[in-house]
A and B are shown apart, each in its own frame.
Chain A
Amino acid sequence: MRDVAVVSFAQSPHVRREQNRNEVEILMPVVREARERSGIAHDEIDFVCSGSTDYLAGQSFAFVAGLDGIGAWPPVSESHVEMDGAWALYEAWVKIQMGYADTALVYGFGKSSPGDLPEVMALQLDPYVLTPLWPDAVSMAALQARKCLDEGVLTEADMAAVAARDRRHAESNPFAQVKGSADPEALLAEPTLVSPLRKHDCAPISDGAAAVILAADDVARRVCERPAWISGIHHIVEPQDPGLRDLTRSRSTEIAADKAGVGAGTVDVAEIHGPFTHQEILIEKALGLGPDTTVNPSGGALAANPMMTAGLIRIGEAARRIQDGSAGRTVAHATSGPCLQQNLVCVMEGR
């Protein structure tokens, strides 16, 4: 295996509605910042990979506009996934492992505000037996939350505590959208949104972008004082139909965490991509984290959840804490699909 590290990370401020900038205009300054911070010039980047979804822009091949924005002349080696940018990072990592590249630019972007995001998310479901019933993303998550509550896997108080913790952590994150929280008791006094979920259980709808630069071996050592070396990365998908899955645990995260080697050492920081409070609890359990791990110091997806980007941000945030010396070993998680269908786990360390 080649040694591959995150050497640079940048993100936009995440907001409920970017009135005046389109997706490309949100993305361009972020890519420029990530590149400048890495010290790797545009023409030294061997591979470019992005994560976004045409369903937000409402037109096919919308991601090509993003590629125009980062500069595709002279021709670049490029790929795109209709997934969170965390999976674009996985593809870039494979490309580097295969020896086809030494450096890669990975980015994700999503402007959800023009549409009704929970309804748009129904389009990712089985087109024959699920989408025609239009179960929005909050309703799907609520089915999972009630199952967990019924079976005693977690309580509503646990869920409110996660929301309060993350949104308090977000107070020190200049890029976060939702900062600060009332006490869990006060949150629980609020009415339900889609029962059993309350507003605080749901990630905000966000517009935003993020970019990461990967580099291998000596390139990483040359450009970065303390690279965040990826010691393990893995992803697993479960069946699309939520009726075919055990919704009270995340089997795919458990397997991915094992394959990525989460348990091989202490975890100083974990950045979890849980768009709903109960999902964050399920992932924390699936990763096998102990009390010594600080979970979501950035505030996580509950503080800002730009579609196709919030998973990549978890990797960037977990890497950043190695680069600044505040953590020795970190874990980042990304999720995709309804009710935690697909999960990616990335372990990083300073050396």
Chain B
Amino acid sequence: MPDPTQPTETTEALVAPHSLRYTYKRSVGPIMGKFFTALREGRLVGVRRSDGSVMCPPKEYDPETAAALSEMVDLGDSGVVTTWAWVKTPRAKQPLDHAFAYALIQLDGADTPLLHAVDAGSESHMSTGMRVKARWKDERVGHITDIACFEPAEEGA
């Protein structure tokens, strides 16, 4: 029987993995599930709210009335910038590795804006009200980053 008050001979350190993340998967539910499925197919959808307007990204419940929502609405993959922030020095995890804008983008057919990145090259190419179009990734998995970013688009695009 070893004496527990004495150091042991072993030199091996005790090591345990520490994973700072949720180590389980969860369902995104019936409404956001349709949104992410559409993204995988290269499409954008919203959900109709209690007052008839269209919300994108869609949520299961109306944020004003708390009513359960179900009617999905097809949207365009172009829209209008309603506000933007110019990121001069992107952090490693951010969508682009060169200067870009975060923007709220109201997609054609939607009444609320979605947050995404806009690859405009320089701040002088950004303006509130400008039109932008989604740049889709070739390999899509049903994730918000299936849209690599948005890019400036011609009027009417």
Physical interaction between A and B: yes
A interface with B by C-beta (< 8 Å): 58-59, 116, 119, 126, 128-130, 132-136, 138-140, 142-147, 150, 192-197, 239, 241-244, 247
Q: Nearest chain B CB to A278's CB is how many angstroms away?
A: 12
Establish whether residues B116 and A195, one from each chain, have CB atoms under 8 Å apart when the complex forms: no
Known: A140-B85, A142-B102, A143-B103. 8 other contacts (CB 8 A): A58-B20, A129-B57, A134-B95, A143-B85, A143-B115, A146-B128, A239-B63, A241-B112
Known A-B contacts A134-B95, A239-B63, A242-B104; the reply to A128 vs B32 at CB < 8 A is yes
Q: What's the Cα separation between A241 and B113 when bound, in Å? A: 10
Establish whether residues A143 and B84, one from each chain, have CB atoms under 8 Å apart when the complex forms: yes
Chain A residues contacting B93 (CB-CB under 8 Å) are 119, 134
Establish whether residues B114 and A243, one from each chain, have CB atoms under 8 Å apart when the complex forms: yes
Establish whether residues B63 and A139, one from each chain, have CB atoms under 8 Å apart when the complex forms: no
Q: What's the Cα separation between A153 and B59 when bound, in Å? A: 29
Q: Is B55 an interface residue (CB 8 A)?
A: yes
Known A-B contacts A135-B102, A142-B85; the reply to A150 vs B128 at CB < 8 A is yes
Q: Chain B: which residue is nearest A150 at the CB level? A: B128
Binding site secondary structure of chain B:
mixed
Among A58, A145, A146, the one with the most B-chain Cβ atoms within 10 Å of its Cβ is A146
Q: What's the Cα separation between A128 and B115 when bound, in Å? A: 12
Known A-B contacts A147-B82, A244-B63; the reply to A135 vs B115 at CB < 8 A is yes
Interface residue total, chain B, C-beta cutoff 8 A: 34
Q: CB within 8 Å of A: which of B22-51? A: 28, 32, 36
Chain B residues contacting A147 (CB-CB under 8 Å) are 82-83, 104
Q: What's the Cα separation between A134 and B87 when bound, in Å? A: 12
Establish whether residues A132 and B85, one from each chain, have CB atoms under 8 Å apart when the complex forms: no
Known A-B contacts A119-B93, A243-B112; the reply to A139 vs B85 at CB < 8 A is yes
Q: What's the Cα separation between A141 and B104 when bound, in Å? A: 12
Q: Mark B136-157, 1 if CB is under 8 A from A, else 0.
A: 0000000111000000000000
Q: CB within 8 Å of A: which of B48-107? A: 55, 57, 59, 63, 82-88, 91, 93-95, 102-104
Q: Is B132 an interface residue (CB 8 A)?
A: no
Establish whether residues A133 and B83, one from each chain, have CB atoms under 8 Å apart when the complex forms: no
Q: Chain A: which residue is nearest B127 at the CB level? A: A150
Binding site secondary structure of chain A:
mixed
Chain B residues contacting A116 (CB-CB under 8 Å) are 91
Q: Nearest chain A CB to B45's CB is how many angstroms away?
A: 13
Among A192, A193, A195, the one with the most B-chain Cβ atoms within 10 Å of its Cβ is A195
Chain B residues contacting A143 (CB-CB under 8 Å) are 83-85, 102-104, 115
Establish whether residues B85 and A133, one from each chain, have CB atoms under 8 Å apart when the complex forms: no
Chain B residues contacting A136 (CB-CB under 8 Å) are 91, 94
Among B87, B112, B145, the one with the most A-chain Cβ atoms within 10 Å of its Cβ is B87
Chain B residues contacting A139 (CB-CB under 8 Å) are 85, 87, 102
Establish whether residues B91 and A119, one from each chain, have CB atoms under 8 Å apart when the complex forms: yes
Chain B residues contacting A241 (CB-CB under 8 Å) are 57, 59, 63, 112
Q: Is B108 an interface residue (CB 8 A)?
A: no
Establish whether residues A243 and B116, one from each chain, have CB atoms under 8 Å apart when the complex forms: no
Q: What's the Cα separation between A195 and B86 when bound, in Å? A: 5
Establish whether residues B115 and A129, one from each chain, have CB atoms under 8 Å apart when the complex forms: yes
Chain A residues contacting B88 (CB-CB under 8 Å) are 192-195
Establish whether residues A132 and B143, one from each chain, have CB atoms under 8 Å apart when the complex forms: yes
Known A-B contacts A132-B144, A133-B144, A133-B145; the reply to A243 vs B91 at CB < 8 A is no
Q: Which 9 A-B pairs have the closest CB atoms?
A: A142-B85, A195-B86, A147-B83, A239-B63, A134-B93, A243-B113, A129-B57, A139-B85, A146-B83
Chain A to chain B contacts (Cβ below 8 Å), 24 pairs: A59-B20, A128-B28, A128-B32, A128-B36, A128-B144, A130-B115, A132-B144, A133-B94, A133-B102, A133-B145, A135-B102, A139-B87, A140-B102, A142-B86, A145-B85, A146-B83, A147-B82, A147-B83, A192-B86, A195-B85, A195-B88, A197-B85, A243-B112, A244-B55
Q: What's the Cα separation between A210 and B81 when bound, in Å? A: 41
Chain B residues contacting A194 (CB-CB under 8 Å) are 85-88
Q: Chain A: which residue is nearest B86 at the CB level? A: A195
Cross-interface CB contact of B117 among A119, A133, A145, cutoff 8 Å: A133
Chain A residues contacting B57 (CB-CB under 8 Å) are 126, 128-129, 241, 243
Among B59, B115, B128, B143, the one with the most A-chain Cβ atoms within 10 Å of its Cβ is B115
Q: What's the Cα separation between A16 and B93 when bound, in Å? A: 24
Q: Nearest chain A CB to B92's CB is how many angstroms away?
A: 9
Q: What's the Cα separation between A130 and B117 when bound, in Å? A: 11
Q: What's the Cα separation between A195 and B125 when bound, in Å? A: 13
Cross-interface CB contact of A129 among B95, B102, B114, cutoff 8 Å: B114
Q: What's the Cα separation between A136 and B102 when bound, in Å? A: 10
